[in-house]
Structure 1
Amino acid sequence: MTDEQFIKYIQSLNPSASIEIKEGLMKIRMYNKKLIDELKEKYNYRCQICGESILGEDGVAVSEAHHLEQFSLTQNNNPDNIMILCPSHHRIIHKAKGLFNRREHVIEYNNGRIDSLTLNYHL
Protein backbone atom coordinates (compact mmCIF):
# COMPACT_ATOMS: atom_id res chain seq x y z
CA MET A 1 0.00 0.00 0.00
CA THR A 2 1.43 3.38 -0.99
CA ASP A 3 1.47 6.34 1.37
CA GLU A 4 -1.30 7.95 -0.66
CA GLN A 5 -3.45 4.79 -0.49
CA PHE A 6 -2.83 4.55 3.25
CA ILE A 7 -3.90 8.15 3.84
CA LYS A 8 -7.02 7.60 1.72
CA TYR A 9 -7.82 4.43 3.69
CA ILE A 10 -7.33 6.10 7.10
CA GLN A 11 -9.51 9.03 6.05
CA SER A 12 -12.26 6.62 4.97
CA LEU A 13 -12.60 5.14 8.48
CA ASN A 14 -15.41 6.31 10.74
CA PRO A 15 -13.88 8.87 13.15
CA SER A 16 -16.85 9.01 15.53
CA ALA A 17 -16.30 8.37 19.22
CA SER A 18 -18.50 8.33 22.28
CA ILE A 19 -18.56 7.72 26.00
CA GLU A 20 -20.70 4.90 27.26
CA ILE A 21 -21.77 4.44 30.86
CA LYS A 22 -22.20 0.83 31.91
CA GLU A 23 -23.19 -0.54 35.26
CA GLY A 24 -22.09 -3.91 36.57
CA LEU A 25 -19.51 -5.76 38.58
CA MET A 26 -15.87 -4.89 38.18
CA LYS A 27 -12.88 -7.04 39.07
CA ILE A 28 -10.20 -4.90 40.74
CA ARG A 29 -6.64 -6.04 41.39
CA MET A 30 -5.71 -5.51 45.02
CA TYR A 31 -2.06 -5.90 45.98
CA ASN A 32 0.53 -4.30 48.22
CA LYS A 33 1.79 -1.35 46.16
CA LYS A 34 4.49 -0.65 48.77
CA LEU A 35 6.14 -3.98 47.94
CA ILE A 36 6.28 -3.07 44.24
CA ASP A 37 7.53 0.45 45.01
CA GLU A 38 10.33 -1.04 47.18
CA LEU A 39 11.38 -3.36 44.33
CA LYS A 40 11.40 -0.44 41.87
CA GLU A 41 13.61 1.52 44.28
CA LYS A 42 15.92 -1.50 44.73
CA TYR A 43 16.49 -1.53 40.96
CA ASN A 44 16.70 2.26 40.81
CA TYR A 45 13.70 2.15 38.43
CA ARG A 46 15.80 0.23 35.87
CA CYS A 47 14.62 -2.64 33.68
CA GLN A 48 15.91 -6.02 34.82
CA ILE A 49 16.36 -7.06 31.17
CA CYS A 50 17.98 -4.08 29.43
CA GLY A 51 19.13 -2.17 32.51
CA GLU A 52 17.71 1.07 31.15
CA SER A 53 15.94 3.65 33.25
CA ILE A 54 13.27 5.44 31.24
CA LEU A 55 13.01 9.06 32.35
CA GLY A 56 10.19 11.17 31.04
CA GLU A 57 10.69 14.81 30.12
CA ASP A 58 9.22 15.68 33.51
CA GLY A 59 11.97 13.69 35.27
CA VAL A 60 9.62 10.89 36.33
CA ALA A 61 11.14 7.40 36.13
CA VAL A 62 8.87 4.96 34.33
CA SER A 63 9.24 1.34 35.35
CA GLU A 64 6.61 -1.36 35.62
CA ALA A 65 6.06 -4.47 37.71
CA HIS A 66 5.50 -7.70 35.79
CA HIS A 67 4.02 -10.69 37.59
CA LEU A 68 5.73 -13.85 36.37
CA GLU A 69 2.71 -15.96 37.30
CA GLN A 70 -0.42 -14.18 36.09
CA PHE A 71 -1.68 -12.16 39.07
CA SER A 72 -5.33 -12.28 37.99
CA LEU A 73 -5.20 -16.10 38.22
CA THR A 74 -2.91 -16.64 41.21
CA GLN A 75 -3.06 -13.42 43.30
CA ASN A 76 0.63 -14.13 43.90
CA ASN A 77 2.21 -10.79 44.81
CA ASN A 78 5.32 -12.25 46.45
CA PRO A 79 8.61 -10.58 45.49
CA ASP A 80 9.79 -13.77 43.78
CA ASN A 81 6.85 -13.42 41.37
CA ILE A 82 7.60 -9.82 40.35
CA MET A 83 10.06 -8.50 37.81
CA ILE A 84 10.79 -4.78 37.26
CA LEU A 85 10.75 -3.84 33.57
CA CYS A 86 10.76 -0.89 31.21
CA PRO A 87 7.44 -0.39 29.40
CA SER A 88 8.86 -1.82 26.15
CA HIS A 89 10.05 -5.12 27.64
CA HIS A 90 6.86 -5.41 29.69
CA ARG A 91 4.74 -5.09 26.55
CA ILE A 92 6.98 -7.49 24.57
CA ILE A 93 6.70 -10.17 27.26
CA HIS A 94 2.90 -9.91 27.25
CA LYS A 95 2.48 -9.69 23.47
CA ALA A 96 5.01 -12.45 22.69
CA LYS A 97 3.98 -14.57 25.69
CA GLY A 98 7.48 -14.76 27.13
CA LEU A 99 8.01 -17.15 30.03
CA PHE A 100 10.56 -16.78 32.82
CA ASN A 101 12.98 -19.69 33.21
CA ARG A 102 13.84 -19.50 36.92
CA ARG A 103 16.82 -21.87 36.67
CA GLU A 104 18.51 -19.91 33.86
CA HIS A 105 17.14 -16.45 34.80
CA VAL A 106 16.04 -15.74 31.24
CA ILE A 107 12.81 -14.93 29.41
CA GLU A 108 12.08 -17.51 26.71
CA TYR A 109 9.82 -16.82 23.73
CA ASN A 110 8.06 -19.25 21.37
CA ASN A 111 10.17 -18.06 18.41
CA GLY A 112 13.38 -19.13 20.19
CA ARG A 113 14.45 -15.68 21.27
CA ILE A 114 15.90 -15.42 24.78
CA ASP A 115 16.27 -12.29 26.91
CA SER A 116 18.77 -12.58 29.77
CA LEU A 117 18.47 -10.56 32.95
CA THR A 118 21.14 -7.89 33.28
CA LEU A 119 19.99 -6.97 36.78
CA ASN A 120 18.87 -9.49 39.37
CA TYR A 121 18.92 -8.87 43.10
CA HIS A 122 15.91 -10.92 44.16
CA LEU A 123 14.85 -13.69 41.76
Structure 2
Amino acid sequence: MQRLNVRQSQIRECIEKSLFAIDQTPHFQKGEILLLQLVKDEARDIGKLHARIEFALVYDHYEFDHTGEISRQHWPQAGKTWKYILVCSDTIPTIPFSLEAIPLSRNYAGQTNPIAISPADETVISPYIWGKMTGYDLRDTFGPSLVKETLGNYDVISRPGKQLKIIVPEHEEYYRDQNLSESLKAIYDHRCQVCGMNFKIKYDEPFAETHHINPLSQGGADISKNIIVICPNHHRIIHKTNAEFDCTKLLYRYPNGYEERLVLADHFEQKSSWG
Protein backbone atom coordinates (compact mmCIF):
# COMPACT_ATOMS: atom_id res chain seq x y z
CA MET A 1 0.00 0.00 0.00
CA GLN A 2 1.26 3.50 -0.85
CA ARG A 3 0.05 7.07 -0.47
CA LEU A 4 -0.18 9.47 -3.42
CA ASN A 5 -0.93 13.18 -3.01
CA VAL A 6 -3.28 14.55 -5.66
CA ARG A 7 -4.67 18.00 -6.46
CA GLN A 8 -8.37 18.74 -6.74
CA SER A 9 -8.01 19.72 -10.41
CA GLN A 10 -6.47 16.34 -11.23
CA ILE A 11 -8.41 13.88 -9.10
CA ARG A 12 -11.42 13.50 -11.42
CA GLU A 13 -9.27 12.20 -14.25
CA CYS A 14 -7.42 9.92 -11.84
CA ILE A 15 -10.54 8.26 -10.49
CA GLU A 16 -12.47 8.12 -13.77
CA LYS A 17 -9.60 6.73 -15.86
CA SER A 18 -7.73 4.87 -13.07
CA LEU A 19 -4.52 6.74 -13.92
CA PHE A 20 -1.86 8.64 -11.99
CA ALA A 21 1.37 10.41 -12.96
CA ILE A 22 4.68 10.62 -11.09
CA ASP A 23 8.33 11.50 -11.73
CA GLN A 24 9.93 8.95 -9.42
CA THR A 25 10.67 5.52 -10.84
CA PRO A 26 7.68 3.33 -9.85
CA HIS A 27 8.32 0.40 -7.52
CA PHE A 28 4.85 -1.08 -7.10
CA GLN A 29 3.46 -4.60 -7.09
CA LYS A 30 0.58 -5.51 -9.37
CA GLY A 31 -2.61 -5.30 -7.31
CA GLU A 32 -1.08 -2.90 -4.77
CA ILE A 33 -3.46 -0.33 -3.26
CA LEU A 34 -2.54 3.31 -3.94
CA LEU A 35 -4.37 5.78 -1.67
CA LEU A 36 -5.32 9.07 -3.34
CA GLN A 37 -4.86 11.84 -0.76
CA LEU A 38 -6.06 15.36 -1.53
CA VAL A 39 -3.26 17.87 -0.82
CA LYS A 40 -3.73 19.48 2.58
CA ASP A 41 -4.21 23.13 1.61
CA GLU A 42 -6.90 22.24 -0.93
CA ALA A 43 -8.59 19.86 1.49
CA ARG A 44 -8.73 22.68 4.02
CA ASP A 45 -10.24 25.07 1.47
CA ILE A 46 -13.14 22.73 0.65
CA GLY A 47 -13.72 21.46 4.20
CA LYS A 48 -12.25 18.00 3.71
CA LEU A 49 -9.39 17.92 6.20
CA HIS A 50 -11.19 15.04 7.91
CA ALA A 51 -11.70 13.21 4.59
CA ARG A 52 -8.61 13.75 2.44
CA ILE A 53 -8.82 10.16 1.18
CA GLU A 54 -12.00 8.96 -0.53
CA PHE A 55 -10.60 6.81 -3.34
CA ALA A 56 -7.80 4.36 -4.05
CA LEU A 57 -6.32 2.90 -7.22
CA VAL A 58 -5.40 -0.75 -7.81
CA TYR A 59 -1.99 -0.73 -9.53
CA ASP A 60 -1.43 -2.72 -12.73
CA HIS A 61 1.61 -1.35 -14.64
CA TYR A 62 3.30 1.87 -15.71
CA GLU A 63 4.15 3.51 -19.01
CA PHE A 64 6.96 5.92 -19.89
CA ASP A 65 5.68 9.31 -21.02
CA HIS A 66 8.76 10.22 -23.08
CA THR A 67 7.09 13.02 -25.05
CA GLY A 68 4.67 14.23 -22.38
CA GLU A 69 1.76 13.43 -24.69
CA ILE A 70 -0.07 11.26 -22.16
CA SER A 71 0.33 13.86 -19.39
CA ARG A 72 -1.00 16.65 -21.60
CA GLN A 73 -3.88 14.51 -22.80
CA HIS A 74 -5.17 13.67 -19.34
CA TRP A 75 -4.07 16.66 -17.23
CA PRO A 76 -3.85 19.64 -19.63
CA GLN A 77 -4.70 22.12 -16.86
CA ALA A 78 -1.59 21.10 -14.88
CA GLY A 79 0.78 22.83 -17.29
CA LYS A 80 3.46 20.17 -16.78
CA THR A 81 4.34 16.62 -17.73
CA TRP A 82 5.52 13.58 -15.77
CA LYS A 83 7.96 10.79 -16.56
CA TYR A 84 5.72 7.89 -15.62
CA ILE A 85 2.00 7.16 -15.97
CA LEU A 86 0.59 4.64 -13.52
CA VAL A 87 -2.01 2.52 -15.28
CA CYS A 88 -4.34 0.94 -12.74
CA SER A 89 -6.85 -1.87 -13.11
CA ASP A 90 -9.54 -0.25 -10.99
CA THR A 91 -10.62 2.68 -8.85
CA ILE A 92 -12.28 1.81 -5.56
CA PRO A 93 -13.90 4.03 -2.92
CA THR A 94 -12.76 4.22 0.66
CA ILE A 95 -14.62 5.20 3.77
CA PRO A 96 -13.77 8.96 3.81
CA PHE A 97 -10.82 9.45 6.18
CA SER A 98 -7.52 11.23 6.74
CA LEU A 99 -4.25 9.61 7.73
CA GLU A 100 -3.78 12.27 10.40
CA ALA A 101 -7.03 11.25 12.08
CA ILE A 102 -6.14 7.62 12.77
CA PRO A 103 -3.42 6.20 15.06
CA LEU A 104 -0.47 5.32 12.83
CA SER A 105 3.14 4.52 13.63
CA ARG A 106 4.51 6.95 11.03
CA ASN A 107 3.83 10.47 9.79
CA TYR A 108 2.76 10.55 6.14
CA ALA A 109 2.67 14.31 5.75
CA GLY A 110 4.50 16.11 2.97
CA GLN A 111 4.17 16.28 -0.78
CA THR A 112 6.51 13.49 -1.86
CA ASN A 113 4.90 10.94 -4.19
CA PRO A 114 4.73 8.09 -3.59
CA ILE A 115 5.16 7.26 0.11
CA ALA A 116 5.02 3.60 1.17
CA ILE A 117 2.71 2.67 4.03
CA SER A 118 4.34 0.51 6.70
CA PRO A 119 2.90 -3.01 7.18
CA ALA A 120 1.71 -2.11 10.69
CA ASP A 121 -0.11 0.99 9.44
CA GLU A 122 -1.54 -0.90 6.47
CA THR A 123 -3.33 -3.15 8.94
CA VAL A 124 -4.95 -0.09 10.56
CA ILE A 125 -5.90 1.48 7.21
CA SER A 126 -7.16 -1.68 5.49
CA PRO A 127 -10.72 -1.63 6.96
CA TYR A 128 -11.34 1.75 5.27
CA ILE A 129 -10.83 0.19 1.82
CA TRP A 130 -13.95 -0.92 -0.05
CA GLY A 131 -14.23 -4.71 -0.13
CA LYS A 132 -12.06 -5.36 2.92
CA MET A 133 -15.08 -5.59 5.23
CA THR A 134 -18.66 -6.75 4.72
CA GLY A 135 -21.39 -4.15 4.36
CA TYR A 136 -22.66 -4.98 7.83
CA ASP A 137 -19.24 -4.57 9.41
CA LEU A 138 -18.78 -1.26 7.58
CA ARG A 139 -22.02 0.06 9.08
CA ASP A 140 -21.20 -1.20 12.58
CA THR A 141 -17.65 0.18 12.44
CA PHE A 142 -18.12 3.53 10.70
CA GLY A 143 -21.86 4.26 10.97
CA PRO A 144 -24.58 4.61 8.28
CA SER A 145 -23.68 8.20 7.39
CA LEU A 146 -20.11 7.44 6.27
CA VAL A 147 -21.26 4.30 4.46
CA LYS A 148 -23.79 6.40 2.49
CA GLU A 149 -21.01 8.84 1.55
CA THR A 150 -18.95 5.91 0.34
CA LEU A 151 -21.85 4.60 -1.74
CA GLY A 152 -22.20 8.02 -3.36
CA ASN A 153 -18.54 7.87 -4.37
CA TYR A 154 -18.97 4.26 -5.54
CA ASP A 155 -21.59 5.44 -8.03
CA VAL A 156 -19.29 8.16 -9.39
CA ILE A 157 -16.53 5.74 -10.35
CA SER A 158 -18.68 2.88 -11.60
CA ARG A 159 -18.13 2.33 -15.31
CA PRO A 160 -20.09 0.27 -17.87
CA GLY A 161 -17.09 -2.00 -18.24
CA LYS A 162 -17.61 -3.22 -14.69
CA GLN A 163 -21.01 -4.72 -15.54
CA LEU A 164 -19.42 -7.87 -16.93
CA LYS A 165 -21.43 -10.88 -17.94
CA ILE A 166 -20.40 -14.18 -16.39
CA ILE A 167 -21.21 -16.76 -19.05
CA VAL A 168 -21.45 -20.52 -18.54
CA PRO A 169 -23.12 -23.05 -20.85
CA GLU A 170 -26.83 -22.21 -21.35
CA HIS A 171 -26.69 -19.56 -18.65
CA GLU A 172 -25.42 -16.03 -18.17
CA GLU A 173 -25.29 -13.74 -15.18
CA TYR A 174 -24.24 -10.14 -14.70
CA TYR A 175 -21.60 -9.19 -12.18
CA ARG A 176 -23.04 -7.91 -8.92
CA ASP A 177 -20.99 -6.41 -6.11
CA GLN A 178 -22.24 -8.33 -3.08
CA ASN A 179 -20.74 -5.75 -0.75
CA LEU A 180 -22.88 -3.06 -2.37
CA SER A 181 -26.05 -5.03 -1.69
CA GLU A 182 -24.98 -5.80 1.89
CA SER A 183 -24.11 -2.16 2.58
CA LEU A 184 -27.55 -0.99 1.47
CA LYS A 185 -29.32 -3.63 3.54
CA ALA A 186 -27.17 -2.64 6.50
CA ILE A 187 -27.85 1.11 6.38
CA TYR A 188 -31.62 0.45 6.14
CA ASP A 189 -31.43 -2.27 8.80
CA HIS A 190 -33.17 -4.65 6.35
CA ARG A 191 -36.30 -2.50 6.14
CA CYS A 192 -38.20 -2.43 2.86
CA GLN A 193 -37.78 0.99 1.24
CA VAL A 194 -41.25 0.75 -0.30
CA CYS A 195 -43.37 -0.18 2.73
CA GLY A 196 -40.98 -0.10 5.71
CA MET A 197 -41.50 -3.78 6.51
CA ASN A 198 -38.93 -5.07 8.99
CA PHE A 199 -38.96 -8.83 9.52
CA LYS A 200 -36.62 -8.52 12.48
CA ILE A 201 -39.29 -6.87 14.66
CA LYS A 202 -41.69 -9.80 14.36
CA TYR A 203 -39.37 -12.75 13.74
CA ASP A 204 -36.17 -11.56 15.42
CA GLU A 205 -34.34 -12.32 12.18
CA PRO A 206 -33.24 -9.66 9.65
CA PHE A 207 -34.37 -10.38 6.11
CA ALA A 208 -34.61 -8.29 2.95
CA GLU A 209 -33.79 -8.51 -0.74
CA THR A 210 -32.29 -6.02 -3.18
CA HIS A 211 -33.75 -5.07 -6.55
CA HIS A 212 -32.12 -3.38 -9.53
CA ILE A 213 -34.52 -0.68 -10.71
CA ASN A 214 -33.17 -0.90 -14.26
CA PRO A 215 -32.22 -4.56 -14.79
CA LEU A 216 -28.57 -5.34 -15.44
CA SER A 217 -29.63 -7.42 -18.44
CA GLN A 218 -31.13 -4.27 -19.97
CA GLY A 219 -28.10 -2.08 -19.39
CA GLY A 220 -28.80 -1.02 -15.81
CA ALA A 221 -25.76 -0.29 -13.65
CA ASP A 222 -24.72 -2.07 -10.48
CA ILE A 223 -24.61 1.16 -8.47
CA SER A 224 -26.43 2.23 -5.32
CA LYS A 225 -28.74 4.67 -7.15
CA ASN A 226 -30.05 1.74 -9.22
CA ILE A 227 -30.77 -0.50 -6.24
CA ILE A 228 -33.46 -0.55 -3.57
CA VAL A 229 -33.79 -2.71 -0.46
CA ILE A 230 -37.12 -4.44 -0.67
CA CYS A 231 -39.33 -7.06 1.00
CA PRO A 232 -40.13 -10.29 -0.93
CA ASN A 233 -43.77 -9.27 -1.53
CA HIS A 234 -42.88 -5.97 -3.16
CA HIS A 235 -40.03 -7.59 -5.07
CA ARG A 236 -42.42 -10.09 -6.63
CA ILE A 237 -45.25 -7.67 -7.42
CA ILE A 238 -42.88 -5.18 -9.03
CA HIS A 239 -41.55 -7.90 -11.32
CA LYS A 240 -45.00 -9.41 -11.99
CA THR A 241 -46.59 -6.08 -12.95
CA ASN A 242 -43.46 -4.57 -14.49
CA ALA A 243 -44.08 -1.45 -12.38
CA GLU A 244 -42.20 1.67 -13.47
CA PHE A 245 -39.98 3.64 -11.11
CA ASP A 246 -40.16 7.43 -11.19
CA CYS A 247 -36.66 8.49 -10.16
CA THR A 248 -37.74 12.12 -9.78
CA LYS A 249 -40.63 11.47 -7.40
CA LEU A 250 -39.05 8.30 -5.96
CA LEU A 251 -42.17 6.20 -6.41
CA TYR A 252 -43.36 3.08 -8.19
CA ARG A 253 -46.20 3.43 -10.67
CA TYR A 254 -48.21 0.28 -11.39
CA PRO A 255 -50.13 -0.48 -14.62
CA ASN A 256 -53.49 0.06 -12.87
CA GLY A 257 -52.47 3.62 -11.96
CA TYR A 258 -51.63 2.93 -8.31
CA GLU A 259 -48.56 4.80 -7.06
CA GLU A 260 -46.34 3.86 -4.12
CA ARG A 261 -43.75 6.33 -2.89
CA LEU A 262 -40.61 5.10 -1.15
CA VAL A 263 -40.87 5.57 2.61
CA LEU A 264 -37.07 5.26 2.96
CA ALA A 265 -34.92 7.02 0.37
CA ASP A 266 -31.79 8.27 2.15
CA HIS A 267 -29.21 6.88 -0.26
CA PHE A 268 -30.94 8.42 -3.29
CA GLU A 269 -30.43 11.84 -1.72
CA GLN A 270 -26.72 11.26 -1.02
CA LYS A 271 -24.48 13.40 -3.25
CA SER A 272 -20.80 12.89 -3.98
CA SER A 273 -18.39 15.82 -4.04
CA TRP A 274 -16.84 14.34 -7.19
CA GLY A 275 -19.86 13.63 -9.36
Q: Which residue of structure 2 lines up, in the alignment, with residue 89 of structure 1?
A: 234
**Which is richer in strand?**
2
- C-alpha separation in 1, matches of 2:211 and 2:238: 9
For residues 26-72 of structure 1, what are the alpha-carbon distances to aligned partners after superposition, in whole Å with 9 as ceiling and x for unaligned? 21232110011000001000000110112499743221111010112
**Which is richer in helix?**
2
How many angstroms does 1:108 deviate by?
A: 0.3
- Show the 5 A alignment for 1:97-112: 97-112=242-257
How many angstroms does 1:105 deviate by?
A: 0.9
Give the partner amino acid of 1:119: L
Give the partner amino acid of 1:72: S
- C-alpha separation in 2, matches of 1:29 and 1:86: 22
Q: Which residue of structure 2 lines up, in the alignment, with residue 15 of structure 1?
A: none
- C-alpha separation in 2, matches of 1:58 and 1:116: 26
Counterpart contact for 1:56–1:62, Cα < 8 Å: no
- C-alpha separation in 2, matches of 1:30 and 1:59: 31
Q: Which residue of structure 1 lines up, in the alignment, with residue 173 of structure 2?
A: 28
Give the partner amino acid of 2:218: L
- Which structure is larger by alpha-carbon Rg, 1 or 2? 2
- C-alpha separation in 2, matches of 1:112 and 1:73: 24
Q: Matched residues, percent identical?
A: 31
**Higher RCO by CA contacts (8 Å cutoff, separation 6 or greater):** 1
Of 18, 38, 42, the match for 2:183: 38
* Aligned-residue RMSD, C-alpha: 2.1
- C-alpha separation in 1, matches of 2:201 and 2:195: 17
Of 183, 186, 209, the match for 1:64: 209
Secondary structure of the 1:27 match is: strand
Give the partner amino acid of 2:251: V
Structure 1 unaligned spans of 5+ = 1-22
Secondary structure of the 2:260 match is: strand
- C-alpha separation in 2, matches of 1:108 and 1:84: 17
Normalising by structure 1, what TM-score?
0.74
- C-alpha separation in 2, matches of 1:109 and 1:63: 22
- How many pairs were matched up? 101
Give the partner amino acid of 2:242: K
Secondary structure of the 1:65 match is: strand
Moved over 3 A (4+): 55-60
